[in-house]
Amino acid sequence: MKKSSLIIALVMSIAAIDMSNAQTTQKTHQQNPYTLVYEGAITENVKGKVNIHPVSYKIKDITIVANVYTPANFESSKKYPTLVIAHPNGGVKEQVAGLCAQRLAEQGYITITADAAYQGGSGGEPRNVDKPANRIEDIHAMADFISQYKGVDTARLGLLGICGGGGYSLKAAQSDKRFKAIATLSMFNSGVVRRNGFMNSQFSTIQERLKQASDARAQEAAGGKIMYVGDTQLTDKQIAALPFDLYREGFEYYGKTHAHPNSTFRYTMSSLMDLMTFDASSNMDLINHPLLMIAGSKADTFYMTDDAFNKATNAKNKELFLINGATHIQTYWKPEYVLQAVNKLVNFYQINL
């Protein structure tokens, strides 16, 4: 595969999981009864400690699977601040979203994180449709469900979005005023990247890719084969040669160290019709609640956080927090960076919820 075509394939999909490498981590999710793959994950519910509760609900006719985490010594008769957490593109609730959900529950919050519709363990056909409207509705629906959960204080409902989930959280928070404080971690503007390419590297192929997406939709409508983006398989040597930290480290995280069988960056090509006309940073002036945006100081995705943050002209007490030395993917798992992010989030939510 030529280097140029390799980069194009990766920019369109962020990264595609190398399943042969993923086999090295199969035991991780198999050994955990909740298939959690992050360090320090809950293995059993113990009285007096943080507990995890697998739940399900519907978005129209689609079954959504989620995990609710309750704080230590949880009493349903009391009221707790609560956080909705949206996972990265291609990610699932058992990875970094679950890690953040558990760590924040350890600080006294009820938290919920769900697999996106059409993705992960949730329902929806065809599989791996990846449309912004769906991801935004996922966030609204998490708020719907958790607002009815015993112990939730709906007056203290916050939102956290990670990577692509961060971009969709910004968009959801523009209209959903139930969220009283909004935070992002390593925000990724999916629409801008799908359209322009990562770091604006694909301007010259926008019309070509829109034509491919249109043709794929026509084929689907005619009952033909579903076309997918993100099926690239790479060797370790090819991964090492990739030009961006996001992709190199993304292969390691999603394909090796934190692989999960429900996690994939494969998505329908027809989804690009919606993705390429989307911009998470548009209408940022509609956010009028407190806003915290966290990113690694070495993240090659930082330009997206910076752009959205500067456009949030009406956000109250807005703050940009950089984790010194961290890349995008390292904020997902590296203990010292996770600790900094969680401490900052706790401080933010304590003040603003």
* Residue 106, pLDDT above cutoff 50: yes
Residue 64 has φ and ψ, to the nearest 5°, of: -105, 135
Give the CA angle between residues 127, 133, 137 to the nearest 5°: 90
- Binned at pLDDT 50, 70 and 90, residue 176 comes out as very high
Q: Mean pLDDT throughout 203-226?
A: 97
Give per-residue pLDDT as tens, 183-202.
999 999 999 999 999 988 89
Give per-residue pLDDT as tens, 83-98.
999 999 999 999 999 9
Give per-residue pLDDT as tens, 223-242.
999 999 987 777 888 888 88
Distance from C-alpha of 133 to C-alpha of 17, rounded to nearest angstrom = 25
Q: Work out the number of other CB atoms within 10 angstroms of the CB of residue 57.
A: 16
Radius of gyration for the alpha carbons in the chain, expressed in angstroms and rounded:
19
| Greatest Cα pair distance in the chain | 61
Give per-residue pLDDT as tens, 147-161.
999 999 999 999 999
* Residue 19, pLDDT above cutoff 90: no
Question: pLDDT at position 7, please?
Answer: 42
Please state the domain extents for the chain: 26-191+271-352
What residues pair up with 228 in beta bridges, in sequence order? Answer: 268
- Tell me what percent of the residues of the chain surpass a pLDDT of 70: 92
Mean pLDDT rounded to a whole number for the chain: 92
pTM to 2 decimal places = 0.92
Q: Mean pLDDT throughout 243-249?
A: 91
The owner of tokens 């603003």 is: 352
Provide the CATH topology of domain 26-191+271-352.
Answer: Rossmann fold (3.40.50)
